[in-house]
Amino acid sequence: MSALARIGLCLLNAGVGLLVSPLFEGLTRKLKAALQSRIGPPVYQPYLDLLKLLGKEDLRTSRGFFDAAGPALSLGFVLLLALLAPMGGPPPLAFAGDVVALLYVATAAAAVLVLTGYASGSAYAFVGGSREIMLLLTVEPVMAVALVVGVFKARTLTVSGLLAWQAAQGPTISMAIAALAFFLALQAQAGRIPFDIAEADQELMGGPLVEQSGPRLALFRWAMWARQLVLSFVLVELFLPWPRVGVLSLDLLLALLKVAVVLALVTVVDVVNPRLRVDQALGYYLRVVFGALAGLAFAVIGM
């Protein structure tokens, strides 16, 4: 890949992650409203939310490092995640072992939010933060095992290698199980009911976000929307890449459609469930991990 093409691809991925993610958030809100017999806000409402919050005064409850840098760091990690993820084409930032980096960067974005919450000193943020950490510690293994299945099958530790192998190989039982596990993990990664336990508006008034407002809240929200979009891309590109046309614009369009379906499913699950308690959620993901390990077992016997 030429340097110019790589820069172009970087811009494309970052642009999709930043500019398209509020649109998907708006679409999920609209779908949620429809399922609840409501009209719902206009599809472009998240853009207005961001604009409004960005224009507000920056009020802070403390003057620590995370209060100053947390929001930008969080969004920064999500942008980095977008550069590591395939969106129609190969990931713009590719190097040996970037699958591992992908996992780390995805977690880092969430961890920054938790640390900022801790720094704010609110009791709600503490409780919400510890819930988020517990949840991350059980959901990360699910995603890791799902990716390891691919790594094992494709014998490569690069995202582009995985993508190429899966596109050429076609569906297998082990990858189908891994895809399902990754999808179930996405529900918690996107902070959706029944796993929005860390924020739990009715219990913790937003948990780690409780003291965030104005532009800082905007950046955190933006980071969360972008993160859910990028992780959906990872799911559809690595596990369901077919059909692969080879033309960037067409492949991107196809991926966006698949992402829309994935997020619609996530939203339906969100609407038809109440929030779980954190212990119940941990028990659930423990079972999912074992399910994902079954996928790995299939991979070992070559299915």
Partner 1 sequence: MSTAADRAGVRQRIEALLRADGGRMRLTDRAGDFLFEPQADTLHVKVEREAVRRTAAALVADLGARFLVTVGTDRRPLAGDYGIVHLFSLDAEQLFVALDCGVDSGDARIDSITPVVPAAAWAEREFRDAVGVVPEGHPDPRRLMLADDWPEGLYPLRRDVPHDLKPPATEGVRPPMKAPPPGTSVVAVGPFFPVLEEPSCWRLFVDGERIVGCDYRGFYNHRGIEKLGDTVLTYGQIPFLAERICGICGFIHSTCYCQAVEKAAGIEVPRRGRYLRTIMLELERIHSHLLWLGIAGHIIGFDAVLMQAWRIREPVMWLCEAISGNRKTYGMNTVGGLRRDLAPEMKPRVLEVLGPVEKESLAVREAILGDTTLIARTRDVGPLPPETARALGVVGPPARASGLRIDARLDHPYAAYDEIVPHLCLQEGGDTWSRVLVRVEELLDSVRLVREALAALPDGTVLADVGEDVPADRMAISVVEAPRGEAVHYLLTGGDNRPYRWRVRAPSYPNLQAMPAMVQGQTIADVPITLGSLDPCFSCTERVEAVDVRTRTVRVYEPAELRELAQRKRGPS
Q: Tell me: does residue 30 bind partner 1 (CB under 8 A).
A: no
Task: Give the other-Cβ count within 10 Å of 287's Cβ.
Answer: 10
Q: Which one of residues 66, 124, 222, 298 is an interface residue with partner 1 (CB under 8 A)?
A: 124
Q: Tell me: does residue 59 bind partner 1 (CB under 8 A).
A: yes
Distance CA 206, CA 200 (A): 6
| Closest separation in Å from C-beta 64 to partner 1 | 10
**Which residues, numbered 209-268, are part of the site for partner 1 (CB under 8 A)?**
none
3-state helix, strand, coil in the chain (%, to 5): 75, 0, 25
How far is C-alpha 62 from the geometric centre of its chain's CA atoms? Answer: 28
| Closest separation in Å from C-beta 176 to partner 1 | 25
User: Exposure of 125 by Cβ count < 10 A (0-12 exposed, 13-18 middle, 19+ buried)?
Assistant: buried
Q: Tell me: does residue 272 bind partner 1 (CB under 8 A).
A: yes
Task: Give the other-Cβ count within 10 Å of 11's Cβ.
Answer: 12
**Residue number with CB closer to partner 1 (10 or 203):** 203
Q: Which stretch binds partner 1 (CB under 8 A): 31-39, 71-79, 93-101, 250-258?
A: 31-39
Q: Which one of residues 262, 275, 295, 296 is an interface residue with partner 1 (CB under 8 A)?
A: 275
Distance CA 255, CA 208 (A): 32
Q: Tell me: does residue 169 bind partner 1 (CB under 8 A).
A: no
Q: Which one of residues 127, 159, 217, 256 is an interface residue with partner 1 (CB under 8 A)?
A: 127
Q: CA 76, 80, 83, 87: dihedral to nearest 10 degrees?
A: -70
**Which residues, numbered 178-207, are part of the site for partner 1 (CB under 8 A)?**
193-194, 196-197, 200-205
Structure tokens at 177: 């199980």
| Closest separation in Å from C-beta 217 to partner 1 | 15
Q: CA 119, 189, 80, 88: dihedral to nearest 10 degrees?
A: -160
Q: Which stretch binds partner 1 (CB under 8 A): 13-21, 107-115, 244-252, 276-284?
A: 276-284
Tell me if 85 sits within 8 A of 9, measured CB to CB: no
Q: Which stretch binds partner 1 (CB under 8 A): 53-61, 86-94, 245-253, 257-265?
A: 53-61
Tell me if 142 sits within 8 A of 184, measured CB to CB: yes
Return residues touching partner 1 (CB under 8 A).
35-38, 57, 59-62, 121, 123-124, 127, 130, 193-194, 196-197, 200-205, 271-280
